[in-house]
Structure 1
């Protein structure tokens, strides 16, 4: 760390603690005082804290604070090596209270994420070894469910460390626990879901290669879990990655592959894959495939029976709001704009405007608003388009993931190529969107990611 260490590491070394074996006994005593069980970190997780500076996920923070007597913010502050820090121990205050905004530098996120890719890859490559775990499945289930819920609702920077730590924990249990076959399948399912989210995170950071690699690993876990729905969902993610990488041919291939796999499934994953087909086909100018896929998705909506992926929600379900958003986007990508499509675009925006809606997602709302701007532009309503995209342009940099930036740039391209390009409003909007992309996509400046 260039002459500095985390106060966490300083305090542990001051107490003679330098390894996971030395850390766990006092940590477990602190957990007992709090009435907590089954909250031991994996050795790799502990090493990530002490040697890589990775911040613990919420499950572990209160135990660490109880054990060491300092706030998490103080413990994860760098101090000069050899100096005697003067942090004040907590007395009569909430040990887990934190007034700092979460976050880390984008390059650090990619580096720590790359380590997760390597770890997952190493496990999959050694799949013939005995698979083991312990009795922490309920805790892991809760962690996975919370991450699935949070992912589309908060900036990536707020959950990235928690996501990587949860993946470490699941793979640690796969490697070292002892489970019945059904439990082993459950762990592989969770590993697949977490790898799916990590891959999506890399895509949001515009790190395509790591996203592609982690998506392959997610597919391997899904196959080990013998879960066709999750396997199809991973194909959808692979389509999504190629779609935002401007490789519509590959995006269509993966969407069709997943659609074939999910043709006999009753959950919403099959509908998502149809929506992905329509969007990719639209970029290719294939109106026939767009119409066929969207019509089939409408026909199948009425016979949906929500499955375990849908019950988890978040990115694992395809709501009616999202289906409308995808259908409008496919038409907008074809350059269409008329009264009926304008109404659909407004419905898509309205569907994501209520934060209390369990299907709300900041990325889907921004995408729907960009699509509405496109449809209005193609209808000749420049002022309406400017109003539609205004909330997107006012998003803090922390929310501007790659998909949102690309969607905004599509509006700029349309402004430059339609008859509205000479209007003052259009020229001003072009200039504003031109500088919209943050230097660190999906991340804020300063202490946040």
Structure 2
């Protein structure tokens, strides 16, 4: 059966309308209409109704939209029931006798596994484990001395959920989970977790483009970092650099990155948990690269390219448990972005090779957003006659479709 996106394109062409023509008629931008026709984004009902009238589809488009919307709703309802039932079954069979030490082991393993796993399965696992911690806290089935540890476990698992939802593109849900993680850190009196939560809330605000609020989260988080206690300060300073770079302050952004280097040199006690809750040297270089690409090129772009290359090299040569595949792929995109800013189109295309073959389930929201930006940069008029730029944009669009 013909899908709605296919039908939308068929009726537009039958009406002898370009994307720009239809965009004007339905009062939507051309890029969004292209995404609707390729199925990359769901079409709003209002657009389907307007397109139906504009193309003379006589209700065919609205009927197809309603049919697919019903199918989506039914599939979502089935998925929710199955997921809830499976989570409860696994909870009953695998976690009924879980003691606090085993729960902590589960948190630690999940934190490491997250770096190389799709967010969906990690969300499921974190939800089940957090349910065990929550039930222990609520029921009081624990020793008094374990209560703080249970809150830390629940907080870290809330942090995993926050990252998973952000990687899946839902910043609002991610912030709710991060807020819960912060409350757990407060109840447990755990400064390390509290600093991590502040950095994560800032990350969510940056995802939403609210750099002023992101900067407030960072500066609030500095109260939780102690001299030489883990990588919390280095992570926060790198987050500050991202905010400042997006706000256009090159000098302050570079100073924040230099401050992160100094904070790392002062570390005397490692993070209590690795993986998602650690901040490796590779991750620090990755943050530096992802910050400076938002400035005006030149020396900032040169440093961004160096830092992105350093991050990739460190991940590829370092311990497996520290390798974050999604971040490594994003580092390739940041490297490509910096090279475009330096007018090195060939180098940019080379940097994107590992990302252009990703299957849909591995295209997290960050990858989609950042690849769109590279495509926009390469599609600028200055590269109109550059075959490599044209081919790379086509490959990015094909990946998105």
TM-score > 0.5, shorter chain as reference:
yes
More helix by share: 2
C-alpha deviation, 1:247, in angstroms = 1.8
The structural deviation recorded for 1:179 is 3.5
> 2:315 — aligned with what?
352
- Out of 334, 349, 354, the residue aligned to residue 371 of structure 1 is 334
- Counterpart residue number, 1:380: 343
Per the normalisation by structure 1, the TM-score is 0.66
What residue number does 1:321 align with?
Answer: 282
* Cα distance in structure 2, aligned partners of 1:62 and 1:180: 21
Partner of 2:213: 250
* 1:213 aligns with one of 169, 176, 183: 176
Name the residue aligned to 2:242.
279
- Specify every segment of 5 or more residues in structure 1 that has no aligned partner in the other structure, as ranges: 1-47, 65-133, 439-449
CA distance in 1, matches of 2:185, 2:101: 20
1:24-423, aligned counterparts within 5 Å?
52-55=84-87, 136-262=99-225, 264=227, 266-307=229-270, 310-337=271-298, 341-354=304-317, 356-417=319-380, 419-423=382-386
Higher relative contact order (CA 8 A, sep 6+): 1
Aligned length: 320
The more displaced of 217-226 and 329-338 is: 329-338
Native 8 Å contact 2:91 2:132 kept in 1: no
Report the alpha carbon displacement of residue 341 of structure 1 after superposing the two structures with TM: 4.8
Deviations 1:388-417 (A, max 9, x none): 012112122222111122222221232234
CA distance in structure 2 between the partners assigned to 1:292 and 1:168 by the alignment: 42
Classify 1:263/1:288 alpha carbon distance in 2 versus 1 (closer, same or farther; 3 Å): farther
| Structure 1 residue 263, shift from structure 2 partner | 5.3
| CA positional deviation for 1:210 | 1.1
Alignment partners' CA distance in 2, 1:234 and 1:373:
30
Deviations 1:96-145 (A, max 9, x none): xxxxxxxxxxxxxxxxxxxxxxxxxxxxxxxxxxxxxx971012112111
C-alpha distance after superposition, 1:278-335 (max 9, x if no partner): 011111111132022111111121111334xx24211111111111111122222213
Shift of 1:418: 7.5
- Listed as ranges, the gaps of 5+ residues in structure 2 are 1-79
* Residue aligned with 1:323, SS: helix
Aligned mates of 1:218, 1:62 — CA distance in 2: 24
In structure 2, do the counterparts of structure 1 residues 175 and 398 end up closer, same or farther at CA, with 3 Å as the change threshold?
same
